[in-house]
């Protein structure tokens, strides 16, 4: 993942999902990697999909609901990434992905906190 941060959150969440897919593709074939990788692919894609849905809100409650789901999926992605890191300790790419999942959670939380005020 490039070090220059993107400020377009739709693009950033898209890149996160894409990078997670590249990471899963690079893993050794094993039952654990396959199953955990599937979960990671689902949750990482859901971050951006729900953020996009939030931007096409039907109202404030819908906006907040979608952002909460996106934040939850970012947290779940971090879980699967940590698990895959434990099972594949020689892989350095996962560290950047774990960091990005945490940053996305923080950004989404910040948006939610501003909306609630």
Q: What is the pLDDT of residues 90-111, one digit of tens each?
A: 877 899 999 999 999 999 999 9
| Residue 22 φ then ψ, to 5° | -65, -40
Residue 4 domain-assigned (yes or no): no
Residue 45 domain-assigned (yes or no): yes
pLDDT exceeds cutoff 60 at 116: yes
Distance CA 101, CA 31 (A): 24
3-class DSSP assignment, residue 106 = helix
pTM (whole model) above 0.85: yes
Query: What CATH number should be reported for the domain holding residue 95?
Result: 1.20.1440.60
Distance CA 37, CA 44 (A): 10
Residue 106 domain-assigned (yes or no): yes
Residue-number span of the structural domain to which 41 is assigned: 9-116
Q: What is the distance in angstroms between the CA of the first residue and the CA of the last residue of the chain?
A: 34
The H-or-E segment that residue 39 falls in is helix 31-55
Residue 26 domain-assigned (yes or no): yes
Q: How many domains does the chain have?
A: 1
Q: What is the tens place of the pLDDT at every residue in 40-78?
A: 999 999 999 999 999 987 889 999 999 999 999 999 999
């Amino acid at each position: 993942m490039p070090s220059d941060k993107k400020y377009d959150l739709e693009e950033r969440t898209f890149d996160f999902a894409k990078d997670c897919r590249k990471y899963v593709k690079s893993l050794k074939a094993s039952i654990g990697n396959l199953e955990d990788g599937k979960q990671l692919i689902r949750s990482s894609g859901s971050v951006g999909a729900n953020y996009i849905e939030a931007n096409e809100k039907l109202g404030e409650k819908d906006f907040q609901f979608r952002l909460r789901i996106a934040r939850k999926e970012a947290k779940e992605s971090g879980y699967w990434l940590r698990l895959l890191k434990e099972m594949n300790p020689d892989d350095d790419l996962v560290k950047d992905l774990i960091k990005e999942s945490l940053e996305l959670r923080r950004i989404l939380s910040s948006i939610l906190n501003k909306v609630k005020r």
